[in-house]
Amino acid sequence: MYEGWKRFLRRSRRSKEPQDTLPAAAPGLRRVAAPHAGLCAVTDFGLGRDHNEDAFYLSDGDDLIIVADGMGGHRAGEVASELAIAATFSFLKARDGAGQDEDASRRTLVDALENAHQAVVRAALGHDEWSGMGTTFIAARIEGDRLCTCHVGDVRCYLKTRDGLEQVTTDHSVVEEWVRRGELSREEARVHPQRHEITQALGKSTRIRPEVSIRTLEPGDQVVLCSDGLTQPLDDRQLASSMDEGGTVEDVALRLVDRALEAGGEDNVTVVVYEYRAEGEQDSRARRS
């Protein structure tokens, strides 16, 4: 199945078939993790890649979710994203987020990303074939009803509440800087040739400046973490309408990935959807393995 799909991609590229003739999903190139009814992660190769440098992590207690989008030659991107995730969860495992105040939460997450950055830098220094590897990165911690995210690069967090869909994070990208300075409109930024240029990544930048965002969650709120493979092909309006179609978190996550591919998404695409429940409800949820 896997080899067949790669041949199909090569053939369709050569013949320049319109993108809407490509199947929305290629079985075998997609991985779905749904540990229980309130959490689902989907990662897909995308229509133009023969390997996946995105990675995600879901902790057992739902208190930590990570999405990373690696980059680097000779598949070093896969090493960078997996390595940064491993460094972060082992760093945070030793530091329980529950009960700490907002400032402590901020500091802990920034320290965790600094630590992951150093881990990727050190690994790259030790292996010639990994030189220049890096990863964009977002870690979200759920501490009671507090959502705490920390990111570097253009991976994003969205929060869907009764009031609508809010983009929680700001991209660390060249076009985002221009939008902020009023030199480019949001719509111009989406199609700009430099839209893929990020201003910082773990392992790549000399210095990183991880950015923390904090929100208070209400039962029923949905948190989405995603790589740019979702948000390059889809704008916020398309994301919001896809989410409004409802269903389980698994339905939502799969639908978002499908929409990115239907829109011609070439890049690896990763989406995690988490639904916040009231405390009692959280505990009574049946776990699937």
Nearer to Mn ion, 55 or 148 (CB): 55
Residue among 44, 69, 211, 275 that touches Mn ion (CB under 5 A): 69
Considering only residues 176 to 205 of the shown chain, the ones binding Mn ion according to CB under 5 A are none
Tell whether residue 228 is a contact of Mn ion (CB under 5 A).
Answer: yes
Q: How far is the CB of 70 from Mn ion (least distance, A)?
A: 9
Instruction: Name every residue whose Cβ is closer than 8 Å to that of residue 208 and which is 6 or more positions away in sequence.
Output: 113, 114, 117, 152, 200, 201, 202
CB of 208 within 8 A of CB of 114? yes
Nearer to Mn ion, 108 or 227 (CB): 227
Q: How far is the CB of 173 from Mn ion (least distance, A)?
A: 12
Tell me the window of 26-34, 142-150, 224-232, 270-278 that interacts with Mn ion (CB under 5 A).
Answer: 224-232
Instruction: Say which amino acid occupies 272.
Output: V
Tell whether residue 267 is a contact of Mn ion (CB under 5 A).
Answer: yes
Nearer to Mn ion, 147 or 198 (CB): 198
Here's the x/- map for Mn ion, 229-258, by CB under 5 A: it reads as: x-----------------------------
Number of chain residues interacting with Mn ion (CB under 5 A): 5
Beta strands in the chain, from DSSP E residues, in sequence order: 30-36, 39-44, 54-58, 64-71, 134-143, 146-152, 156-161, 164-167, 211-216, 222-226, 269-275
Q: How far is the CB of 211 from Mn ion (least distance, A)?
A: 18
Instruction: Name every residue whose Cβ is closer than 8 Å to that of residue 276 and which is 6 or more positions away in sequence.
Output: 38, 142, 145, 147, 217, 218, 219, 220, 221, 222, 223
Nearer to Mn ion, 228 or 275 (CB): 228
Tell me the window of 3-11, 138-146, 251-259, 265-273 that interacts with Mn ion (CB under 5 A).
Answer: 265-273
Considering only residues 126 to 185 of the shown chain, the ones binding Mn ion according to CB under 5 A are none
Q: How far is the CB of 53 from Mn ion (least distance, A)?
A: 7
Tell me the window of 61-69, 92-100, 207-215, 218-226 that interacts with Mn ion (CB under 5 A).
Answer: 61-69
Q: How far is the CB of 267 from Mn ion (least distance, A)?
A: 4
* Tokens at 77, concatenated: 């991107």
Q: How far is the CB of 170 from Mn ion (least distance, A)?
A: 17
Q: How far is the CB of 105 from Mn ion (least distance, A)?
A: 27
Q: What number of helices (H) and strands (E) belong to the chain? A: 9, 11
Tell me the window of 3-11, 63-71, 103-111, 127-135 that interacts with Mn ion (CB under 5 A).
Answer: 63-71
What CA–CA distance (Å, rounded) separates 51 from 44?
9
Chain centre to alpha carbon of residue 52: 13
DSSP string covering 223-254, please?
EEEE-HHHHTTS-HHHHHHHHHT---HHHHHH
Tell whether residue 44 is a contact of Mn ion (CB under 5 A).
Answer: no
Tell me the window of 21-29, 82-90, 107-115, 220-228 that interacts with Mn ion (CB under 5 A).
Answer: 220-228
Instruction: Name every residue whose Cβ is closer than 8 Å to that of residue 252 and which is 6 or more positions away in sequence.
Output: 40, 222, 242, 243, 245, 246, 273
What CA–CA distance (Å, rounded) separates 231 from 220?
23
Q: How far is the CB of 249 from Mn ion (least distance, A)?
A: 22
Q: Which residues bind Mn ion (CB under 5 A)?
A: 69, 227-229, 267
